[in-house]
Structure 1
Amino acid sequence: MQTFDAAATAAALDFPALIDALRRAQVQGANVPLRHTHAIGDPAAGGGTVLLMPAWREGGRFGLKTITIFPANTALGLPGLHAVYTLFDARTGVPLAQLDGNEITARRTAATAALAACHLARPDARRLLVLGCGRVARLLPAALRAVRPIAAVAVWNHRPEGARRLAAELQAQGVAAQAVDALAPALAQADIVSAATLSTTALLRGRELAPGTHVDLIGSFTPAMREADAECFARSRVYVDTEEALAKSGDLLAARAEGGFDDTRLQGTLAQLCRGEAAGRGSASEITLFKAVGSALADLAAAELVWDTGRQK
């Protein structure tokens, strides 16, 4: 069995190639059962959650990602999420490779946001606002710059020093970035808003979104997590990465309970957008919202790209 460490996994997942791989995977489809979720200890006492995410193509490859989420890790100076990915031959069950699941997760999450933005963000979107400063947040500017002419990036984080560090990192990469302390003024100026946090309370207020904004909610992925209030959904054309989001997303569950959303208002999934079965943005002034909880199909596509690239080398 071949092993791809974090550096080797990341090296095979440059965003243009990964976005194309995700687009092909969405069109082709795969067998993707519902994820398994289990609590590890008491969340109130610093416990966490384990997710098991399988996907396979008949006669092709089978992948399984194991993820642990411990939000209290941030107080310890540790990432809140860790993951391992194992790729198998779906015909024989023979293990092919073990890959760095953190890189798979972070890069496919950012690339999924970029793929959705191809359909939902205005073609002239130039100003990006990132909420968060973790693995995914750090990758969002590069991913979105692969599909939209992003010229300026604002960074907000609930701990301002984290936003300042990320802005400085982006500046060192040649990106025009700045940290912002006040969220409302930054929202008013943003063309794309990407929230990549582990928040359990709404950070984005729908009344503060400017016409024409595209909103990515890609950080929260359990019923207990939330990044936007119900008015964000009430004002937006809403899309999801998979229909599983309707049952697993705290954002959608809360918006539904508070009257800001019902399932009949769902405009489509990412697969339907990629297949041309759902219409994307309809005008320059409407607000679009993409809610992602993460897809094992995207994990499989990323892992296959790493494996195929490694074999070619």
Structure 2
Amino acid sequence: MEFIDNQTIVNHYDFAKLIDRLQAAFAESEIQVPMRHHHDFINPGHDDSTLLLMPAFEPGKETGVKMVTVFPDNGRYQLPSIQGLYLLFDGQKGYCKKVFDAKAITVFRTAATSAMASRLLSRDNSESLMMVGTGALSPMLIRAHATVRPIKQVYIWGRHASRAQAVKQSLADLKLEIQVVSSIEQGIALADIVSCATLSKTPLIKGEYLKPGQHIDMVGAYRPDMREADDNCLKRSVIFVDHYAGATKETGDIAIPLQKGIITRKDLKADLFELCRGQKSGRDNVAEITFFKSVGHALEDLVAAQLIDKLIEKKI
């Protein structure tokens, strides 16, 4: 059994290939995905923590399961908030082929999924990106979005300017104009695409900040008590989600407005399955504000692990 660490994944990932494979998988894949296990538990002296178990099966090919913990306070220990393992099994004989660093797989597939959604929802000529948040996902989200749109300018905001500068420095190899901004409102005013990846419990993206034609990519707020967008943001937007079952229950960005009657289930225009299959349309005009909420789906993890496996083995 081989362990694939973070650096090996970083050395082999390919956003263009994964984005295409994810879109094909959402459109036509036979991958079977049970509802994930989501267990919140008390962590004395810290914010509540979470254990996630996410299985997926592609009959006759591979089976995979991700086991991760989410400890929101890990920044105080210089540790990532998301840690865990991804196990990839042979689909016919059941043996474990490889064990991956789940954090790296999660970052890779989450960023690729956001970029895939942007390819379906943002304006083709989107050239500027606002990144809210400075965690491990932030530089990968910027790289992924720049894969599908002609991004030239990037604006970064974080609670700590030094971390925003670190994200900027990590992207030095890209031919982008990157600026750290002092406020979220300032960055949104300049951006065609706004991506937000935080663990905030209070809204950061406010509807009053938005302008016609923007695409809003909401990646954080993975628990029902977390929110990155306020009610006005949702009311001004056309709403899309990665999958209905998770989005309506697991994230406060959707669950709280539904409970308050700010939006209804009918206000969720489409999920990724419907978009990728062409069953529902994405952006209808250049003035719409499109809002995509990602909570994560085990299909994405399995597709990412399969791709990394093949890239390492040089089978593609």
TM-score normalised to the size of structure 2?
Answer: 0.95
Deviation of 1:130 (Å)? 0.3
Greater Cα offset, 27-36 or 165-174: 165-174
Matches within 5 A, 1:148-227: 148-171=149-172, 173-227=174-228
Deviation of 1:231 (Å)? 1.1
Match for residue 246 of structure 1 among 229, 245, 248: 248
Instruction: Return the letter of the residue paired with 2:287.
Output: S
Deviation of 1:161 (Å)? 2.2
Equivalent position of 2:9 in the other structure? 9
Name the CA distance, whole Å, in 1 between partners of 2:204 and 2:262.
16
Query: What is the aligned-residue RMSD (CA, Å)?
Result: 1.5
Q: Deviations over 1:174-229 (max 9, x none)?
A: 42101111111221221000001111111000111011010000122221221101
Name the CA distance, whole Å, in 2 between partners of 1:44 and 1:201.
21
Name the CA distance, whole Å, in 2 between partners of 1:196 and 1:190.
16
Q: Deviations over 1:252-273 (max 9, x none)?
A: 0122234332111111111211
Match for residue 303 of structure 1 among 302, 305, 309: 305
Name the CA distance, whole Å, in 2 between partners of 1:169 and 1:304.
27
Matches within 5 A, 1:67-146: 67-146=68-147
8 Å contact 1:171–1:177 — kept in the other structure? no
Relative distance call for 1:7 and 1:171 in structure 2 (3 A) is: closer
8 Å contact 1:132–1:156 — kept in the other structure? yes
Instruction: Return the letter of the residue paired with 1:8.
Output: T
8 Å contact 1:168–1:177 — kept in the other structure? no
Instruction: Return the letter of the residue paired with 2:125.
Output: D
Deviation of 1:47 (Å)? 4.5
Q: Secondary structure at the match of 1:162?
A: helix
Q: Deviations over 1:269-305 (max 9, x none)?
A: 1121111111011111110000000110000000011
Equivalent position of 1:266 in the other structure? 268
Q: Deviations over 1:100-135 (max 9, x none)?
A: 211110011010000000110000001100011111
Relative distance call for 1:43 and 1:219 in structure 2 (3 A) is: farther
Q: Deviations over 1:27-75 (max 9, x none)?
A: 2231111111223433663451110000011122110001110011112
Deviation of 1:172 (Å)? 5.4
8 Å contact 1:230–1:258 — kept in the other structure? no
Name the CA distance, whole Å, in 1 between partners of 2:196 and 2:46.
26
Relative distance call for 1:24 and 1:285 in structure 2 (3 A) is: same
8 Å contact 1:47–1:70 — kept in the other structure? yes
Name the CA distance, whole Å, in 1 between partners of 2:261 and 2:160.
31
Q: Secondary structure at the match of 2:261?
A: coil
Equivalent position of 2:27 in the other structure? 27
Name the CA distance, whole Å, in 1 between partners of 2:28 and 2:38.
26
* Identical pairs, percent: 38
8 Å contact 1:87–1:303 — kept in the other structure? yes
Q: Secondary structure at the match of 2:204?
A: coil
Q: Secondary structure at the match of 2:262?
A: coil
Residue segments in structure 2 that go unaligned for 5+ positions in a row: none
Instruction: Return the letter of the residue paired with 2:309.
Output: W
TM-score normalised to the size of structure 1?
Answer: 0.95
Q: Secondary structure at the match of 1:45?
A: coil
Instruction: Return the letter of the residue paired with 2:274.
Output: Q
Instruction: Return the letter of the residue paired with 2:122.
Output: A
Q: Secondary structure at the match of 2:171?
A: helix
Name the CA distance, whole Å, in 1 between partners of 2:48 and 2:257.
27
Greater Cα offset, 173-182 or 209-218: 173-182
8 Å contact 1:49–1:69 — kept in the other structure? yes
Q: Paired residues, what number?
A: 313
Residue segments in structure 1 that go unaligned for 5+ positions in a row: none
Q: Secondary structure at the match of 2:226?
A: coil
Name the CA distance, whole Å, in 2 between partners of 1:205 and 1:43.
32
